Amino acid sequence: MKIVKTGLLGALAAVLVFGTIASAAEISGKVQAVDPAGKSVTLDNGTTLMIPATAKVDKKALAPGAMVKASYDEKDGMKMVKSLQVTSAAK
């Protein structure tokens, strides 16, 4: 039982040190703007998604008017894309 308590206390300490545990979320929407450097995309609802180099994104297909579906983690108040899929091309 002591091992379990120690493990729980360790996990709690890690959360306190490293902040809240990020949880993945999903969003869909129409692209309003794309950063020229390809590091972010803004949806028509005002949501800005940051695109790290490690994210799975077809940047060539990103354009204003395209419909997208993304999964992201929230980190330091920013939505960091894990994957972003263009579901329909820009019109």
Q: What is the pLDDT, as a whole number, of residue 24?
A: 82
Q: Is residue 17 part of a domain?
A: no
Domain-embedded: residue 45:
yes
pLDDT at residue 72 in the model: 95
How much is the pLDDT for 12? 46
Rounded Cα distance, 61 and 33, in Å: 13
Q: How many residues can be counted in the chain?
A: 91
Output the pLDDT for position 10.
Answer: 55
Residue 6 falls within a domain, yes or no? Answer: no
Residue 64 lies in a domain: yes
Can you give the pLDDT of all 91 residues of the chain as single tens digits? 545 455 545 554 554 445 455 568 999 999 999 999 889 999 999 999 999 998 888 888 899 999 999 999 999 999 999 999 999 988 7
Domain range for residue 30? 23-88
**How many domains does one find in the chain?**
1
Q: Say what the pTM is.
A: 0.72
Residue 69, domain CATH: 2.40.50.320
Whether 12 is covered by a domain: the verdict is no
Query: Is 53 inside a domain boundary?
Result: yes
- The DSSP line for 67-83 is EEEEEEEEETTEEEEEE
- Residue 7 inside a domain? The answer is no
For residue 36, how far is the Cα from the chain centroid?
A: 19
Instruction: Give pLDDT, residue 46.
Output: 97
